[in-house]
Amino acid sequence: MNNKLQKYDNYKPSNVEWLGEIPQHWEVTRIKNLFKEINERSMNGNEDLLSVSQYTGVTKKGDKLEEGELLTNAATLEGYKKVFKGDLVSNIMLAWNGSLGFSEFEGITSPAYSIYRLKVEGAKKYFHYLFRTELYKSEFKRNSSGVIESRLRLYTDDFFRIPSILPPLSEQEKIAQFLDEKNTKIDKAIEIKERQIELLKERRQILIHRAVTRGLDVNVPLKDSGIEWIGEIPEHWEVKRLRYIGKCQNGVSKGAEYFGTGFPFVSYGDVYKSIELAENVNGLAESSIEDRKQYSVKEGDVFFTRTSETVEEIGFASTCLKTIEDATFAGFLIRFRPSKDILYKGFSKFYFSSKTHRAFFVKEMNLVIRASLSQELLNRMPIIIPPFEEQIAISEYLENISAKISKAIGLKEREIEVLKEYKSSLINSAVTGKVRVF
């Protein structure tokens, strides 16, 4: 990726502060001199519904409407804006984050979009790259109306007033071609690294599953666990239903006025996002002394997510490794508190994050509108129980393995970030003339 790119021979001031210098033979003109607004409306709403995002550009949306849109059938799409191939589609509410691009499809969009068409000869892909740079996104944001991001709007008059760099057409085409080729290579490299991360995560899950179901001694005699999806376990291990090794408790359920101030509060997100409960949680609740006693958060407690849209996201678990004083926990969670010296906290952390118990939830749970985990179901879940000393050894082994894999994943994630930064920098440099790419 380290190509040595040359600069142009001569530069001149663009007379636009945020653009800086541009190649001597390039021009700067207002966007209104390059584009015209199109406001053709659908007669019946039967066309393909289109959407635009900062990640994918313009795509076919089908019957899926954006959040906040109440229209659900073709008849109600009458009057939507028509889009033709090659039109620039801009979401006026999100143009500042790059939600605009040229369409490869014919269709219709919500009236919350603006549709533009080049009125001069130009390379659409060049302007696609130019308008989605951080440089232009910042300028779109600066020219948008509104005080907070959620209410910003880039209206046509404001969009048209923004200066646009204008290289000769032949150079627009060469720049676009160069960036297409480079981006394909960069995206492929990113895809490979993302797959490597997935393989590392899969490897970690395999090692966790093997350790918590077979232990660390590969020569240990095995026996049938009596549970189909668990299979064989070490001969000296036990399997017990959850109800026989501890107690469950649903979380506190209160009105909105209860939250935001007061004492520490463990939320659904605290459990869903991590297998290890953070010592310092962000949530606060005006809990009473009785609340803090009944819904306490103690070392060794395991918290399960109780509700979700799908069975696959039910029963995500997070283990408390250190007591959070005066804390309570959310009603969307179930707390399992093991009996003393039954489960080591480090073993629980990995055991309940493994796929070992996932098959139980999927097999036993009936999905109606929303999946919901009950105490009754959770109490029926079979748990593999090694001797306490073995649990500690397994925990220490998995901590070491997990740390190494997490480090490897972190390195891959950083490599991906570097590639993305390089891609963004390359696009910005090419379309603004900072480097010559042909």
Non-local CB neighbours of 11 within 8 Å, separated by 6+ positions? 21, 22, 23, 24, 433
More confident residue, 307 or 131: 131
Q: Could you tell me where the DSSP H helices lie in 250-369?
A: 268-272, 289-294, 345-351, 358-364
Counting residues of the chain whose pLDDT is more than 90, the rounded percentage is 79
Res 295: pLDDT = 97
Mean pLDDT to the nearest integer, 395-419:
98
166: amino acid identity, one letter = L
How does residue 366 score in pLDDT terms, banded at 50, 70 and 90? low
How does residue 310 score in pLDDT terms, banded at 50, 70 and 90? low
Res 62: pLDDT = 59
**CA-to-CA distance for 426 and 3, rounded, in angstroms?**
11
Q: What's the distance, CA 218 to chain centroid?
A: 38
Query: What are the pLDDT digits (tens) for 72-121?
Result: 444 568 889 999 999 999 999 999 999 999 999 999 999 989 999 999 99
Res 66: pLDDT = 45
For residue 283, which phi and psi values (nearest 5 degrees)? -70, 150
DSSP three-state, residue 98 = coil
DSSP three-state, residue 81 = strand
Mean pLDDT to the nearest integer, 23-34:
97
How does residue 302 score in pLDDT terms, banded at 50, 70 and 90? very high
DSSP summary character for residue 338: E
> Which tokens sit at 138?
């910042």
> Which tokens sit at 334?
């179930």
Counting residues of the chain whose pLDDT is more than 70, the rounded percentage is 93
Res 320: pLDDT = 98
Res 69: pLDDT = 44
Listed in order, strand segments (DSSP E) in 179-256 are 222-224, 232-234, 238-241, 246-250
**CA-to-CA distance for 12 and 27, rounded, in angstroms?**
10
Mean pLDDT to the nearest integer, 277-287:
95
Per-residue pLDDT at 157 exceeds 90 = yes
Res 72: pLDDT = 42
Question: Do residues 161 and 143 touch, judged by C-beta distance below 8 A?
Answer: yes
Res 148: pLDDT = 80
More confident residue, 409 or 45: 409
Other CB atoms within 10 A of residue 394 CB: 22
Non-local CB neighbours of 332 within 8 Å, separated by 6+ positions? 251, 268, 305, 306, 307
103: amino acid identity, one letter = S
Res 79: pLDDT = 85
437: amino acid identity, one letter = V
Listed in order, strand segments (DSSP E) in 182-236 are 222-224, 232-234
Per-residue pLDDT at 430 exceeds 50 = yes
Q: What's the distance, CA 133 to chain centroid?
A: 21
Strands 328-329 and 259-266, sheet pairing: parallel
DSSP summary character for residue 70: -
More confident residue, 276 or 64: 276
Q: Which of 67-81, 190-204, 319-333 has the lowest mean pLDDT?
A: 67-81
How does residue 230 score in pLDDT terms, banded at 50, 70 and 90? confident
Mean pLDDT to the nearest integer, 316-341:
96
For residue 41, which phi and psi values (nearest 5 degrees)? -110, 145
H or E element at residue 273: none
